[in-house]
């Protein structure tokens, strides 16, 4: 039987997390350096150099950075930090802590872009292959262990790049070369509607329609955004390599500087500007694909949806960078956005263990689609999640009852766990 949790285990985890949180909040100046953890692509363990043949070198590993734009303490921030600490994420870097003016995120959401850019610029080019996860500090709670999220990141990226290669008639993404060669390394969380909505801007109309989710999966196409497929980006969760993230944030800042209009209702929406960078990327991918297919230059205006005047058609100059390797985690393998999805979400209790102890499952009783033929069913907790949680909990020493007469037993238990 698989033993996942106990009250004592979780009590100690929470205690350590709270201690870590208090330590972080005691800094009076912004934290510039976190304690990133090692990342090895498509691997769950890093081999020991002593176990390798003398002619074989250790695989190159990168670091994992957790960036949390936050201006000051808040209950929601505590939840983000505690849950990330419990699940094995690196010490978070608070971007914009106690900042003022244009760097104060409580004044403008654009401060998030500026503060994260400041951190990315502080890293040398040697860190370009490091993996960085950025979350909105007041909106996110972690549920996946860090190693599982990293595994899923590489899996989603691999699948997406295979699809991109096939779209451009190649067997491998490596066969596509050039400054604007399409590929995917950055993942945003998904969104069911384009926010801020403006059907004429590329970030709303130029995005992919094929998201590998069956039409109707969330309900009928009836104008209710809850029934939409998650085709757009949400800037509250982003993951990708430092080098590509640096270019994305630089392009976003450049767009802000070029198009900022204080009279616009959503002029301070970081999601709007990032959405435009992505929308134009997708537009030019479509143009390039048409040029490749027809062996000729295509009029970009013909790419816009026919019969819909008013669409903003992107323009570019020779040598302009339009490819930023942006993609969306459409199936929520890493990020689950709540907006428009509450009807389909349920807090699960994985409390059904198979008789042979080989699996743990949860019983689904919520009929989200209101289907007349609905029957409760079980879903298994993924094996890698189970393994990761066991590893986390196994690192915690046993705790005996807090009886003053038994302090010596606790000392003995601690000594054994330290051997």
Output 212-215 pairs: Cβ under 8 A, ≥24 positions apart. 212/163, 212/330, 212/331, 213/330, 213/331
Output 209-213 pairs: Cβ under 8 A, ≥24 positions apart. 211/328, 211/330, 212/163, 212/330, 212/331, 213/330, 213/331
CA distance 140 to 79: 8
DSSP 336-369: ---TTTGGG-------EE-TTSS-EEEEE---TT
Strands 93-95 and 186-191 come out as unpaired
Q: Tell which residue, 134, 106, 109, 108, has the closest CA to residue 120.
A: 134
pLDDT score at 79: 95
In which band, very low, low, confident or very high, does the pLDDT at 56 lie, cut at 50, 70 and 90?
low
To which residue do tokens 């990032």 refer?
Answer: 274
pLDDT score at 225: 84
Instruction: Provide the angle, in degrees to the nearest 10, between the axes of the packed helices 7-25 and 75-86.
Output: 120
For residue 369, pLDDT beyond 60: yes
pLDDT score at 406: 54
pLDDT tens by residue, 336-348: 998 888 888 888 8
For residue 62, pLDDT beyond 90: no
Q: Do 272 and 266 touch, CB atoms closer than 8 A?
A: yes
pLDDT tens by residue, 199-248: 999 999 999 999 999 988 888 877 788 889 999 999 999 999 999 999 99
Q: Do 219 and 227 touch, CB atoms closer than 8 A?
A: yes
Q: How far does Cα 163 stand from its chain's mean position? A: 20
The enclosing H or E element of 241 equals strand 232-241
Q: How many CB atoms lie within 10 A of CB 164?
A: 19
Mean pLDDT computed over 288-304: 78
To which residue do tokens 């004044």 refer?
Answer: 107
pLDDT tens by residue, 7-35: 434 443 444 444 344 333 333 333 334 45
CA distance 390 to 103: 41
pLDDT score at 130: 97
Which residues of 129-202 form beta strands (DSSP E)? Answer: 131-135, 186-191
Q: How many CB atoms lie within 10 A of CB 320?
A: 11
Q: How many CB atoms lie within 10 A of CB 8?
A: 15
Mean pLDDT computed over 114-132: 96
Q: Do 160 and 183 touch, CB atoms closer than 8 A?
A: no
Distances (CA, A) of 30 to 146, 242, 250, 317, 348: 24, 20, 21, 39, 37
Q: Do 77 and 92 touch, CB atoms closer than 8 A?
A: no
Would you state the structure tokens that stand for residue 124, as one six-digit string? Answer: 């040398």
DSSP 192-226: SS-SS--TTSHHHHSS-S--SS-TTTTS--SS-GG
pLDDT score at 205: 94
Q: Do 242 and 123 touch, CB atoms closer than 8 A?
A: yes
Mean pLDDT computed over 47-72: 74
CA distance 117 to 121: 6
Mean pLDDT computed over 260-285: 94
Which residues of 35-138 form beta strands (DSSP E)? Answer: 37-39, 62-69, 93-95, 131-135
CA distance 131 to 152: 13
Q: What angle do CA 361, 364, 369 make, to 5 degrees?
A: 150
């Amino acid at each position: 039987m698989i033993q996942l949790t106990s009250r004592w285990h979780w009590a100690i985890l929470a205690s350590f997390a709270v201690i870590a949180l208090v330590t972080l909040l005691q800094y009076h100046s912004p934290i510039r350096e976190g304690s990133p953890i090692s990342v090895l692509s498509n691997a769950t363990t890093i081999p020991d150099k002593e176990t390798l043949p003398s002619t074989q070198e250790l695989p190159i590993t990168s670091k994992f950075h957790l960036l949390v734009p936050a201006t000051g303490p808040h209950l929601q921030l505590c939840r983000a930090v505690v849950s990330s600490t419990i699940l094995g994420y690196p010490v978070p870097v608070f971007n914009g802590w106690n900042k003022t003016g244009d760097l104060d995120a409580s004044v403008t959401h654009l401060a998030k872009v500026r503060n994260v850019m400041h951190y990315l610029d502080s890293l040398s080019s040697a860190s370009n292959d490091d993996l960085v996860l950025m979350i909105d500090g007041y909106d996110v709670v972690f549920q996946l262990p860090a190693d599982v999220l990293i595994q899923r990141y590489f899996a989603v990226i691999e699948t997406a790049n295979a699809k991109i290669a096939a779209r451009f008639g190649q067997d491998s993404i490596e066969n596509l070369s050039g400054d604007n060669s399409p590929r995917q390394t950055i993942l945003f969380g998904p969104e069911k509607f384009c926010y801020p909505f403006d059907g004429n801007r590329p970030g709303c109309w130029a995005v992919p329609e094929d998201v590998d989710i069956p039409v109707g999966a969330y309900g009928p196409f009836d104008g209710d955004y809850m029934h939409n497929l998650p085709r757009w980006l949400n800037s509250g969760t982003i993951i990708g390599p430092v080098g590509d993230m640096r270019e994305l944030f630089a392009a976003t800042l450049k767009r802000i500087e070029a198009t900022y209009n204080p009279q616009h209702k959503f002029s301070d929406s970081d999601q709007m500007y990032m959405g435009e960078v992505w929308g134009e990327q997708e537009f030019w991918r479509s143009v390039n694909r048409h040029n490749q297919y027809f062996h000729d230059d295509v009029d970009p205006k013909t790419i816009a949806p026919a019969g819909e005047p008013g669409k903003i058609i992107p323009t570019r100059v020779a040598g302009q960078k339009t490819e930023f390797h942006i993609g969306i985690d459409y199936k929520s393998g890493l990020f689950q956005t709540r907006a428009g999805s509450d009807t389909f979400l349920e807090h699960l209790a994985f409390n059904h263990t198979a008789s042979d102890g080989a699996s743990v499952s949860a019983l689904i009783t919520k009929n989200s689609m209101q289907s007349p033929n609905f029957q409760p069913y079980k879903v298994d907790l993924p094996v890698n999640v189970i393994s990761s949680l066991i590893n986390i909990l196994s690192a915690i020493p046993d705790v005996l009852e807090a009886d003053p007469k038994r302090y010596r037993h606790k000392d003995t238990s601690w000594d054994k766990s330290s051997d």
